[in-house]
Amino acid sequence: MLKLLLIISLALALSHTAFAQNNCSNLRTLLDKGDLEQAAAIAVQIQTADNATCNNLLGEVYLRKGRNDVAQKYFETALKLSKSNSEDQAASLNNLGLVYWNTGSSASAKDYIAQALAIRTKLYDAGHEKLAASYNDLGLVSTDPDEALETYEKALTIYQEIYGENDQKVAQAKANIGIIYRNIELFGDAQNYFNEALAIWKKLHPNGHPNEGFIHTNLGRTFQLMGNLDAAKGYYEEALEVYQKHYGSKHPEIARTFNLIGNVHNIKGEFETALSFYQQALITNSIGFNNQDLETNPSTEDYFNANTLLNSLYYKAQALEDLHHNLTLKFKDARLSLTTLQVADTLVDKIRQISNNEADKLELGEISSQLYENGVRLCYYMADVAVKKDPYYELSFYFSEKSKSSVLLEAISDASAKSFANIPDSKLTEENELKSEIAYYEQKLAQKPEETTATKYRERLFELKQHYNAFIADLEKNYPQYYNLKYNIPIPSVAQLQETLNENQAIVSYFIADRTERLYVYQISKTRFNTYNIKQTDNFDRYLSGLRNSIYFKEDEVYAITADKLYEILFPGSIHKSVDHLIIIPSGRLGTVPFEALLTKSAKGSPLDYKSLDYLINDYAISYQYASALYYQQHLNPRKDNQKLAAFLCAPVTFAQLADLPGTNQEISSLQNILSGKGIKPEIYLEANASEEIVKSKNLKEYRYLHFATHGIVNENNPALSRIFLKESETNDGNLFSGEIYNLQLGADLVTLSACETGLGKISKGEGIIGLSRALVYAGANNIVVSLWRVADASTSDLMIDFYGNISGSNYGQGLRQAKLKMIEKGNFLKPYYWAPFILIGQ
């Protein structure tokens, strides 16, 4: 009997395998014809397959239906079943790249598709259609128009050589090229390519095909950019008809089209009609949500496409606000707009959780920054018209802070979560090794090696990232406390921040609203919370650049004007007289300005008497923070006094290709004497001993103070290439890059980069300045002293010696202030050029 059952079971298994194989062979034909419903019906019958090819086809069915979650599982199964360097492996990687692109992870998508292209380049000759497919998809996920156009044209050339002009692959490539031309505002060329693609689809599929909807949509966007809203709406409506015919009632493409039609109505001032379309978009992009009531929104767990849902919520909130201001003036419309923004805010957090790539998270910051700008503006307005104002002012502050350093905060929270979740040291060691190797290959690729080497680096980097993602997924699964702590990054309330402040401290936080050209200022002291909404003048940005340039080039007249005008703008209300320490939380480009050099009273005379000017530093010690949440985290988790009272002092002094810094030798010698006198044991690493190798090999967690007196370079275009210069050795090149600093494990209460421009970096919307200082914060430094421009060797040495001499406990802000005031008083280096660039990031 048992033998019979085994025979029956085997027969059934073979029967299912044969059934799956036979039906999988039909899927490709059905997908090419655009018969998605029949393909989906067959996919439901098959459910499982034991080979990569069939799993890829099943995944493609669900990918086209907008079910990225189901598609991803099939593609991952296909990848596991694939042989190394096979077409099945390339197809699986390429398909996973499309899933990541659909879910908003452009950087991850590019990694996967580039890896697929690398495999196909080995398998096929230069004119093979599989290469064309990868070129096409690589163009799709590229954020660089020139790169995308180049890869699309490669794909088109191959397809035309194989199939001639009338083929669907040729049509798709032409449509993609049309998108690039539209994006660079060559609208005539864009229309030509779209119309050529549409003609091919109509010829090939007389009964219609969903890709016609794609082309109608893009023609609509082209006409909308040209200002022809009626023509745009007509094309969107044609696209909607096509999509509904082929996709049914629920699909993310239908939702995107409803969004586009809604946008046209909103631009025309037809706000209620626009809202009905946005609600339809929410319904068609949700699995179980069907409510037409505008006061309801779907769950942030219920969607086909997260980015489409985010856009629908954003547009709906905007239309509700527009409806309020332009027609109804009903407070309930503003309140519903706020509720919708809050749902979108929750969704942003969820999207960030499922993204493993920092570049994707930074891109999300760019997208969400507009959402937060709307939140800041709306809440401030609601406070102005509400009876109970403070709750809305506090919500305005909340949205302002959500726009700052979210990726950095998550990274720091991740590191903190590991320490509390009892993760074994062996696991943490494994992670550090993975991160170090990833940083190494990212830095090597950033240096743009020749293509053969770059390909090898990309392949290795891709493998490492896959390994790292699997490693993190394993941690989240096996250490649930780690997962909960990692994503628990609350924005502190005003009351919570006030509890952390002493009577002499105040937080001044800024938010620059670029679209509406407003500046929001939030002043928080122990007992007060004041807010200000200021119109940016036409000269605001000129004042910012003028202040930096006038200090650097010592231009008296420009400095006197800009330092005075910026103080009036940035400090619209008086600070309580008990306050002598300001904690500045800048926004965007404000992070490049030394607030210490602002003038609280107008300066007169030519030349200026720099010794007697009313600098802001005369009244306050000033420190800076990336975000209130980071400040609050540091307050809740202060540095533990388990380190030895030791300092790591490092200065290479001489350099092969840069100017020598002889003053740093005396600087380190003086700091040695000062710290020894305070009972702190200094370890000195000068000249040949000041190597990158020694920095990486020492247990830096043991040192309370780290001081690097050297050159530094910040690469604003590619922050990964920002670095400080040390001595080279057999195993290290002497360049301590930003990515390598991220992987240093620091416990220092103070890290000083006595070097040039170390406080600058790339300004990223929603994240702030990305550079060396950010890397040090992530690595574990509580407080950092960095510079905002190139500074003189001798004056820097003087400032550092006085600064360390003034240190008492952890009151670094007052110590740095006294050192600067002494430079002004002594007169040798009294101009702001010498003392203003050095800023304290921390408490």
Nearest in space to 818 (alpha carbons), one of 650, 632, 675, 617: 617
What is the predicted pLDDT for the residue at 771? 63
What is the predicted pLDDT for the residue at 267? 96
pLDDT beyond 70 at 410: no
* Position with higher pLDDT, 356 vs 30: 30
Nearest in space to 598 (alpha carbons), one of 569, 624, 636, 633: 569
Q: Could you tell me the pLDDT band of residue 2, with boundaries at 50, 70 and 90? A: very low
Calpha distance 242→217 (Å, rounded) = 10
Torsion of CA 467, 468, 473, 477, to 10 degrees: 100
Q: Give one DSSP letter per residue of 281-314, joined into a string.
A: HHHHT-SS-----TT----TT--S-HHHHHHHHH
Lowest mean pLDDT among 187-191, 543-547, 718-722: 718-722
Lowest mean pLDDT among 205-209, 318-322, 752-756, 819-823: 752-756
- Residue 790 neighbours by CB distance under 10 Å: 13
Calpha distance 413→405 (Å, rounded) = 12
What is the predicted pLDDT for the residue at 358? 60
Range 807-823 average pLDDT: 90
Range 671-678 average pLDDT: 92
pLDDT beyond 80 at 23: no
pLDDT beyond 60 at 814: yes
What is the predicted pLDDT for the residue at 16? 42
What is the predicted pLDDT for the residue at 639? 61
Range 738-761 average pLDDT: 76
* Cα 207 from chain centre: 44
Calpha distance 485→315 (Å, rounded) = 32
Nearest in space to 771 (alpha carbons), one of 682, 822, 841, 826: 841
490: preceding bond cis by omega (within 30 degrees)? no
Q: Are strands 505-513 and 518-525 parallel, antiparallel or unpaired?
A: antiparallel
**pLDDT one-digit tens code per residue, 827-838:** 889 999 999 989
Q: Could you tell me the pLDDT band of residue 4, with boundaries at 50, 70 and 90? A: very low
Range 269-291 average pLDDT: 95
pLDDT beyond 50 at 7: no
Q: Could you tell me the pLDDT band of residue 13, with boundaries at 50, 70 and 90? A: very low
Q: Could you tell me the pLDDT band of residue 3, with boundaries at 50, 70 and 90? A: very low
Range 257-265 average pLDDT: 97
* Position with higher pLDDT, 565 vs 724: 565
% pLDDT > 70, the chain: 88
Token pair of 190, please? 């864009």
Range 439-467 average pLDDT: 76
**pLDDT one-digit tens code per residue, 35-45:** 767 777 777 77
* Position with higher pLDDT, 275 vs 434: 275
Q: Is 524 helix (H, G, I), strand (E, B) or coil?
A: strand
Calpha distance 823→832 (Å, rounded) = 10
Calpha distance 72→105 (Å, rounded) = 13
Token pair of 712, please? 């530094």
The strand pairing partners of 683, in sequence order, are 648
Calpha distance 624→508 (Å, rounded) = 10
Mean pLDDT over each residue of the chain, to the nearest integer: 85
Contact call for residues 759 and 768 (beta carbons, < 8 A): no
**pLDDT one-digit tens code per residue, 570-595:** 999 888 889 999 999 998 888 888 99
Most confidently modeled of 292-306, 366-380, 496-510? 496-510
Order the strands of the 712-713 sheet from edge to edge. 712-713, 723-725, 735-737
Q: Could you tell me the pLDDT band of residue 643, with boundaries at 50, 70 and 90? A: low
What is the predicted pLDDT for the residue at 452? 79
- Contacts of residue 202, Cβ cutoff 8 Å, sequence gap at least 6: 212
**pLDDT one-digit tens code per residue, 105-152:** 778 888 899 999 999 999 999 889 899 989 988 888 888 889 999 999
Please, which contacts does 815-823 make with residues 24 or more away whose CB atoms are closer than 8 Å?
816/621, 816/785, 816/840, 817/596, 817/617, 817/620, 817/621, 817/622, 820/596, 820/617, 821/617, 821/618, 823/795, 823/798, 823/799
Query: Rounded to whole angstroms, what are the CA distances from 559 to 355, 375, 607, 804, 819?
Result: 45, 35, 11, 29, 22
What is the predicted pLDDT for the residue at 767? 45
What is the predicted pLDDT for the residue at 149? 92
Nearest in space to 825 (alpha carbons), one of 812, 815, 835: 835
Q: Could you tell me the pLDDT band of residue 320, with boundaries at 50, 70 and 90? A: very high
% pLDDT > 90, the chain: 44
Calpha distance 562→335 (Å, rounded) = 40
**pLDDT one-digit tens code per residue, 142-198:** 888 899 999 999 999 999 999 999 898 999 999 999 999 999 999 999 999 999 999
pLDDT beyond 50 at 73: yes
Calpha distance 139→125 (Å, rounded) = 20
pTM > 0.75 = yes
pLDDT beyond 90 at 599: yes
pLDDT beyond 80 at 782: yes
What is the predicted pLDDT for the residue at 5? 40
**pLDDT one-digit tens code per residue, 428-450:** 778 777 877 776 776 677 667 77
Calpha distance 707→705 (Å, rounded) = 7
What is the predicted pLDDT for the residue at 14? 36
What is the predicted pLDDT for the residue at 234? 97
Query: Rounded to whole angstroms, what are the CA distances from 226 to 221, 222, 258?
Result: 9, 6, 20
Q: Could you tell me the pLDDT band of residue 243, with boundaries at 50, 70 and 90? A: very high
Nearest in space to 180 (alpha carbons), one of 149, 157, 151, 150: 149
**pLDDT one-digit tens code per residue, 326-365:** 999 999 999 999 999 999 999 888 877 666 566 666 667 6
Most confidently modeled of 12-16, 69-73, 469-473, 667-671? 667-671
